Structure 1
Amino acid sequence: MNENAESSSVKETNTSTGWKLQFGVLCGMLMLALIGMGLSQALEQSAWWYWLFVVFTYAALGLWRSTRKAKRGGHGLKNLISRELAHWAVLLAFLGVLAVLERKEIISRESSSDFALLLLAFSCCLAGIHFDWLLLIMGVVLTVMLVAMATLEQYTIVLWLVMIVVTVAAAAFFYLKSNRGRAADGLD
Protein backbone atom coordinates (compact mmCIF):
# COMPACT_ATOMS: atom_id res chain seq x y z
CA MET A 1 0.00 0.00 0.00
CA ASN A 2 1.50 3.34 -0.93
CA GLU A 3 1.94 6.23 1.48
CA ASN A 4 -0.91 8.37 0.06
CA ALA A 5 -3.44 5.53 0.22
CA GLU A 6 -2.38 4.72 3.78
CA SER A 7 -2.65 8.37 4.88
CA SER A 8 -6.05 8.67 3.18
CA SER A 9 -7.24 5.53 4.96
CA VAL A 10 -6.04 6.86 8.32
CA LYS A 11 -7.67 10.25 7.68
CA GLU A 12 -11.02 8.63 6.83
CA THR A 13 -10.87 6.50 9.96
CA ASN A 14 -9.94 9.51 12.06
CA THR A 15 -12.76 11.69 10.72
CA SER A 16 -15.48 9.05 10.80
CA THR A 17 -14.77 7.83 14.33
CA GLY A 18 -12.68 10.77 15.53
CA TRP A 19 -15.54 12.94 16.73
CA LYS A 20 -17.02 10.02 18.70
CA LEU A 21 -13.68 9.39 20.38
CA GLN A 22 -13.20 13.08 21.10
CA PHE A 23 -16.73 13.37 22.48
CA GLY A 24 -16.06 10.33 24.68
CA VAL A 25 -12.84 11.90 25.97
CA LEU A 26 -14.69 15.16 26.71
CA CYS A 27 -17.46 13.31 28.56
CA GLY A 28 -14.91 11.29 30.54
CA MET A 29 -13.03 14.44 31.53
CA LEU A 30 -16.31 16.06 32.53
CA MET A 31 -17.28 13.08 34.67
CA LEU A 32 -13.91 13.16 36.43
CA ALA A 33 -14.45 16.84 37.20
CA LEU A 34 -18.00 16.27 38.49
CA ILE A 35 -16.78 13.49 40.79
CA GLY A 36 -13.98 15.75 41.99
CA MET A 37 -16.40 18.55 42.79
CA GLY A 38 -18.49 16.18 44.88
CA LEU A 39 -15.46 14.75 46.67
CA SER A 40 -14.12 18.24 47.38
CA GLN A 41 -17.31 19.11 49.19
CA ALA A 42 -17.64 15.78 51.03
CA LEU A 43 -14.10 14.75 51.97
CA GLU A 44 -11.25 16.52 53.65
CA GLN A 45 -7.95 14.92 52.60
CA SER A 46 -8.88 12.39 49.92
CA ALA A 47 -10.09 15.12 47.56
CA TRP A 48 -6.52 16.36 47.11
CA TRP A 49 -5.38 12.95 45.97
CA TYR A 50 -8.30 12.75 43.61
CA TRP A 51 -7.50 16.17 42.08
CA LEU A 52 -3.91 15.04 41.56
CA PHE A 53 -5.26 11.98 39.77
CA VAL A 54 -7.45 14.27 37.61
CA VAL A 55 -4.47 16.49 36.74
CA PHE A 56 -2.39 13.47 35.70
CA THR A 57 -5.31 12.06 33.71
CA TYR A 58 -5.98 15.38 31.93
CA ALA A 59 -2.26 15.74 31.22
CA ALA A 60 -2.05 12.21 29.82
CA LEU A 61 -5.14 12.69 27.63
CA GLY A 62 -3.91 16.07 26.40
CA LEU A 63 -0.45 14.70 25.65
CA TRP A 64 -1.92 11.69 23.86
CA ARG A 65 -4.18 13.85 21.70
CA SER A 66 -1.55 16.45 20.84
CA THR A 67 1.11 13.84 19.99
CA ARG A 68 -1.38 12.05 17.72
CA LYS A 69 -2.13 15.34 15.99
CA ALA A 70 1.57 16.19 15.68
CA LYS A 71 2.40 12.76 14.22
CA ARG A 72 -0.40 13.09 11.67
CA GLY A 73 0.87 16.55 10.73
CA GLY A 74 4.47 15.35 10.53
CA HIS A 75 5.63 17.74 13.27
CA GLY A 76 8.40 17.08 15.80
CA LEU A 77 7.40 15.62 19.13
CA LYS A 78 10.31 16.43 21.44
CA ASN A 79 9.56 20.14 21.83
CA LEU A 80 5.80 19.55 22.08
CA ILE A 81 6.15 16.91 24.78
CA SER A 82 8.59 18.95 26.87
CA ARG A 83 6.39 22.07 26.66
CA GLU A 84 3.25 20.18 27.56
CA LEU A 85 4.91 18.34 30.45
CA ALA A 86 6.24 21.66 31.76
CA HIS A 87 2.74 23.12 31.52
CA TRP A 88 1.20 20.41 33.68
CA ALA A 89 4.18 20.39 36.09
CA VAL A 90 3.58 24.09 36.78
CA LEU A 91 -0.05 23.30 37.62
CA LEU A 92 1.12 20.62 40.06
CA ALA A 93 3.50 23.11 41.68
CA PHE A 94 0.71 25.65 42.15
CA LEU A 95 -1.58 22.96 43.58
CA GLY A 96 1.23 22.14 46.03
CA VAL A 97 1.38 25.78 47.12
CA LEU A 98 -2.39 25.71 47.56
CA ALA A 99 -2.12 22.58 49.73
CA VAL A 100 0.47 24.30 51.94
CA LEU A 101 -1.79 27.34 52.35
CA GLU A 102 -4.66 25.06 53.34
CA ARG A 103 -2.60 23.04 55.82
CA LYS A 104 -1.31 26.21 57.46
CA GLU A 105 -4.96 27.29 57.71
CA ILE A 106 -4.38 30.46 55.71
CA ILE A 107 -7.34 29.46 53.53
CA SER A 108 -10.22 27.10 54.29
CA ARG A 109 -10.72 23.64 52.83
CA GLU A 110 -13.76 24.79 50.86
CA SER A 111 -11.89 27.76 49.39
CA SER A 112 -8.91 25.57 48.66
CA SER A 113 -10.97 23.08 46.67
CA ASP A 114 -12.58 25.93 44.72
CA PHE A 115 -9.16 27.42 43.97
CA ALA A 116 -7.87 23.99 42.91
CA LEU A 117 -10.73 23.65 40.44
CA LEU A 118 -10.12 27.19 39.20
CA LEU A 119 -6.42 26.43 38.67
CA LEU A 120 -7.33 23.26 36.78
CA ALA A 121 -9.82 25.18 34.61
CA PHE A 122 -7.26 27.90 33.88
CA SER A 123 -4.58 25.34 33.01
CA CYS A 124 -7.00 23.52 30.72
CA CYS A 125 -7.82 26.80 28.95
CA LEU A 126 -4.13 27.57 28.44
CA ALA A 127 -3.43 24.02 27.26
CA GLY A 128 -6.37 24.37 24.89
CA ILE A 129 -4.94 27.55 23.41
CA HIS A 130 -1.43 26.16 23.03
CA PHE A 131 -1.87 22.42 22.47
CA ASP A 132 -5.37 21.04 21.88
CA TRP A 133 -8.69 22.88 21.51
CA LEU A 134 -10.58 20.13 23.39
CA LEU A 135 -8.85 21.21 26.60
CA LEU A 136 -10.06 24.78 26.01
CA ILE A 137 -13.64 23.52 25.95
CA MET A 138 -12.97 21.54 29.11
CA GLY A 139 -11.51 24.62 30.82
CA VAL A 140 -14.56 26.70 29.96
CA VAL A 141 -16.90 23.95 31.16
CA LEU A 142 -14.94 23.62 34.44
CA THR A 143 -15.13 27.38 34.98
CA VAL A 144 -18.88 27.46 34.39
CA MET A 145 -19.30 24.49 36.73
CA LEU A 146 -17.28 26.24 39.43
CA VAL A 147 -19.22 29.48 39.13
CA ALA A 148 -22.51 27.60 39.11
CA MET A 149 -21.48 25.55 42.13
CA ALA A 150 -20.35 28.63 44.05
CA THR A 151 -23.36 30.80 43.28
CA LEU A 152 -26.12 28.22 43.09
CA GLU A 153 -25.16 25.90 45.94
CA GLN A 154 -28.61 26.00 47.49
CA TYR A 155 -30.27 25.35 44.12
CA THR A 156 -29.03 21.86 43.28
CA ILE A 157 -31.55 21.28 40.47
CA VAL A 158 -30.60 24.56 38.81
CA LEU A 159 -26.93 23.64 39.13
CA TRP A 160 -27.47 20.34 37.33
CA LEU A 161 -29.51 22.07 34.61
CA VAL A 162 -26.72 24.58 34.04
CA MET A 163 -24.16 21.77 33.81
CA ILE A 164 -26.35 19.86 31.35
CA VAL A 165 -26.85 22.95 29.17
CA VAL A 166 -23.10 23.67 29.18
CA THR A 167 -22.33 20.05 28.30
CA VAL A 168 -24.85 20.02 25.46
CA ALA A 169 -23.49 23.33 24.15
CA ALA A 170 -19.92 21.99 24.26
CA ALA A 171 -21.02 18.80 22.49
CA ALA A 172 -22.87 20.80 19.82
CA PHE A 173 -19.83 23.01 19.26
CA PHE A 174 -17.66 19.94 19.05
CA TYR A 175 -20.00 18.18 16.61
CA LEU A 176 -20.28 21.24 14.35
CA LYS A 177 -16.50 21.69 14.35
CA SER A 178 -16.09 18.04 13.42
CA ASN A 179 -18.58 18.33 10.55
CA ARG A 180 -16.79 21.42 9.20
CA GLY A 181 -13.50 19.49 9.24
CA ARG A 182 -15.03 16.57 7.37
CA ALA A 183 -16.66 18.89 4.82
CA ALA A 184 -13.31 20.65 4.28
CA ASP A 185 -11.66 17.25 3.71
CA GLY A 186 -14.36 16.34 1.19
CA LEU A 187 -15.55 13.36 3.24
CA ASP A 188 -19.07 14.60 3.90
Structure 2
Amino acid sequence: MDTSCSIAETHPLHRLFRGLTESTFMSDLGIGDPSLVGYVSQLLARFVSSQAIWAVRDKQGRRVGQVAEMLAEAESAPDDDRRRDCLRHVGDFTLFWTGVYPEALPKLQAAPLADSLISFQEQGKRSYYRASTLSPAELGGVFRRLSEEFELCAFGLSRVRREWEKLEASHGQPGRMWA
Protein backbone atom coordinates (compact mmCIF):
# COMPACT_ATOMS: atom_id res chain seq x y z
CA MET A 1 0.00 0.00 0.00
CA ASP A 2 1.45 3.33 -1.08
CA THR A 3 1.04 5.96 1.64
CA SER A 4 3.24 8.57 0.01
CA CYS A 5 2.02 12.04 -0.78
CA SER A 6 0.39 12.14 -4.19
CA ILE A 7 1.43 15.72 -4.85
CA ALA A 8 4.82 17.30 -4.21
CA GLU A 9 5.25 19.37 -1.06
CA THR A 10 6.20 22.30 -3.31
CA HIS A 11 2.90 22.08 -5.23
CA PRO A 12 0.60 25.06 -4.50
CA LEU A 13 -2.24 22.78 -3.40
CA HIS A 14 -0.02 21.03 -0.87
CA ARG A 15 1.20 24.40 0.41
CA LEU A 16 -2.42 25.59 0.63
CA PHE A 17 -3.42 22.56 2.72
CA ARG A 18 -0.38 23.04 4.97
CA GLY A 19 -1.13 26.73 5.49
CA LEU A 20 -4.84 26.23 6.13
CA THR A 21 -4.19 23.32 8.48
CA GLU A 22 -1.50 25.17 10.44
CA SER A 23 -3.61 28.31 10.75
CA THR A 24 -6.85 26.53 11.61
CA PHE A 25 -5.35 24.06 14.07
CA MET A 26 -3.43 26.80 15.88
CA SER A 27 -6.12 29.52 15.80
CA ASP A 28 -9.27 27.47 16.28
CA LEU A 29 -7.96 24.51 18.28
CA GLY A 30 -4.79 25.73 19.96
CA ILE A 31 -2.82 22.83 18.47
CA GLY A 32 0.68 23.88 17.47
CA ASP A 33 2.26 20.42 17.24
CA PRO A 34 4.21 20.51 13.93
CA SER A 35 4.29 16.71 13.59
CA LEU A 36 0.55 16.34 14.05
CA VAL A 37 -0.37 19.32 11.87
CA GLY A 38 2.09 18.18 9.19
CA TYR A 39 0.60 14.69 9.18
CA VAL A 40 -2.95 16.01 8.83
CA SER A 41 -2.02 18.38 6.00
CA GLN A 42 -0.17 15.55 4.21
CA LEU A 43 -3.28 13.40 4.64
CA LEU A 44 -5.30 16.03 2.78
CA ALA A 45 -2.70 16.25 0.02
CA ARG A 46 -2.45 12.46 -0.25
CA PHE A 47 -6.23 12.05 -0.46
CA VAL A 48 -6.49 14.47 -3.39
CA SER A 49 -6.09 11.27 -5.37
CA SER A 50 -9.03 8.91 -5.01
CA GLN A 51 -6.55 6.05 -5.50
CA ALA A 52 -5.03 6.98 -2.14
CA ILE A 53 -8.44 7.01 -0.45
CA TRP A 54 -9.07 3.47 -1.67
CA ALA A 55 -5.47 2.25 -1.30
CA VAL A 56 -6.08 -0.96 0.66
CA ARG A 57 -6.19 -4.04 -1.55
CA ASP A 58 -6.98 -7.61 -0.64
CA LYS A 59 -4.77 -10.61 -1.42
CA GLN A 60 -6.25 -10.79 -4.93
CA GLY A 61 -5.49 -7.10 -5.55
CA ARG A 62 -9.12 -5.97 -5.36
CA ARG A 63 -9.95 -2.64 -3.77
CA VAL A 64 -11.18 -2.87 -0.19
CA GLY A 65 -13.80 -0.18 0.29
CA GLN A 66 -15.27 -0.76 3.74
CA VAL A 67 -13.63 -0.11 7.09
CA ALA A 68 -14.71 -3.55 8.32
CA GLU A 69 -12.90 -5.15 5.36
CA MET A 70 -9.81 -2.99 5.95
CA LEU A 71 -9.74 -4.16 9.55
CA ALA A 72 -10.03 -7.78 8.39
CA GLU A 73 -7.04 -7.15 6.08
CA ALA A 74 -5.09 -5.81 9.04
CA GLU A 75 -5.96 -8.84 11.15
CA SER A 76 -4.93 -11.28 8.42
CA ALA A 77 -1.74 -9.39 7.56
CA PRO A 78 1.32 -11.62 7.25
CA ASP A 79 3.57 -9.13 9.07
CA ASP A 80 3.53 -6.08 11.34
CA ASP A 81 4.39 -3.67 8.50
CA ARG A 82 1.29 -4.64 6.52
CA ARG A 83 -0.81 -4.64 9.71
CA ARG A 84 0.45 -1.13 10.63
CA ASP A 85 -0.19 0.17 7.09
CA CYS A 86 -3.76 -1.15 7.10
CA LEU A 87 -4.46 0.23 10.57
CA ARG A 88 -2.95 3.58 9.63
CA HIS A 89 -5.15 3.69 6.57
CA VAL A 90 -8.27 2.94 8.62
CA GLY A 91 -7.35 5.85 10.89
CA ASP A 92 -6.70 8.14 7.92
CA PHE A 93 -9.82 7.02 6.05
CA THR A 94 -12.14 7.48 9.03
CA LEU A 95 -10.57 10.82 10.02
CA PHE A 96 -10.88 12.12 6.47
CA TRP A 97 -14.54 11.20 6.05
CA THR A 98 -15.51 12.16 9.61
CA GLY A 99 -13.76 15.53 9.42
CA VAL A 100 -13.84 16.65 5.81
CA TYR A 101 -16.99 15.07 4.38
CA PRO A 102 -19.24 13.97 7.27
CA GLU A 103 -22.27 14.30 4.98
CA ALA A 104 -20.96 11.23 3.11
CA LEU A 105 -21.00 9.00 6.21
CA PRO A 106 -24.62 7.86 5.85
CA LYS A 107 -23.86 6.52 2.38
CA LEU A 108 -20.56 4.93 3.50
CA GLN A 109 -22.36 3.31 6.43
CA ALA A 110 -25.64 2.39 4.74
CA ALA A 111 -27.24 -0.97 5.38
CA PRO A 112 -26.63 -3.73 4.34
CA LEU A 113 -22.91 -2.79 4.42
CA ALA A 114 -20.86 -4.15 7.32
CA ASP A 115 -19.80 -0.57 8.07
CA SER A 116 -23.38 0.20 9.15
CA LEU A 117 -22.53 -1.61 12.38
CA ILE A 118 -19.40 0.34 13.29
CA SER A 119 -18.51 3.82 14.48
CA PHE A 120 -15.97 5.52 12.21
CA GLN A 121 -14.80 7.59 15.18
CA GLU A 122 -14.21 4.61 17.45
CA GLN A 123 -12.55 2.56 14.72
CA GLY A 124 -10.35 5.50 13.73
CA LYS A 125 -9.21 6.05 17.31
CA ARG A 126 -8.60 2.35 17.90
CA SER A 127 -6.75 1.91 14.59
CA TYR A 128 -4.45 4.88 15.15
CA TYR A 129 -3.66 3.57 18.64
CA ARG A 130 -2.88 0.08 17.36
CA ALA A 131 -0.76 1.54 14.52
CA SER A 132 1.15 3.56 17.13
CA THR A 133 2.26 0.36 18.84
CA LEU A 134 3.68 -0.98 15.56
CA SER A 135 5.47 2.22 14.48
CA PRO A 136 8.84 3.87 15.09
CA ALA A 137 8.83 6.30 18.03
CA GLU A 138 8.21 9.61 16.20
CA LEU A 139 5.46 8.33 13.91
CA GLY A 140 4.04 6.24 16.74
CA GLY A 141 3.73 9.42 18.81
CA VAL A 142 1.76 11.12 16.03
CA PHE A 143 -0.57 8.12 15.73
CA ARG A 144 -1.07 8.03 19.50
CA ARG A 145 -1.94 11.73 19.50
CA LEU A 146 -4.35 11.23 16.57
CA SER A 147 -6.01 8.45 18.57
CA GLU A 148 -6.32 10.61 21.68
CA GLU A 149 -7.43 13.74 19.81
CA PHE A 150 -9.44 12.12 16.99
CA GLU A 151 -12.61 14.16 17.56
CA LEU A 152 -10.67 17.41 17.86
CA CYS A 153 -8.71 16.67 14.67
CA ALA A 154 -11.93 15.79 12.83
CA PHE A 155 -13.40 19.11 13.98
CA GLY A 156 -10.21 20.84 12.83
CA LEU A 157 -10.55 19.24 9.40
CA SER A 158 -14.13 20.49 9.16
CA ARG A 159 -12.77 23.99 9.84
CA VAL A 160 -10.05 23.54 7.22
CA ARG A 161 -12.75 22.58 4.70
CA ARG A 162 -14.75 25.66 5.64
CA GLU A 163 -11.68 27.84 5.05
CA TRP A 164 -10.93 26.34 1.63
CA GLU A 165 -14.57 26.77 0.67
CA LYS A 166 -14.33 30.46 1.63
CA LEU A 167 -11.25 30.78 -0.58
CA GLU A 168 -13.02 28.98 -3.39
CA ALA A 169 -16.05 31.29 -3.10
CA SER A 170 -13.83 34.36 -3.14
CA HIS A 171 -12.43 33.25 -6.50
CA GLY A 172 -15.90 33.54 -8.04
CA GLN A 173 -16.56 30.03 -9.32
CA PRO A 174 -16.73 26.78 -7.38
CA GLY A 175 -13.83 24.56 -8.34
CA ARG A 176 -11.98 27.39 -10.08
CA MET A 177 -9.41 27.68 -7.31
CA TRP A 178 -8.17 24.15 -8.02
CA ALA A 179 -7.82 24.58 -11.80
TM-score (ref. length: structure 2) = 0.30
Mark the structure with the bigger radius of gyration: 1
Larger relative helix fraction = 1
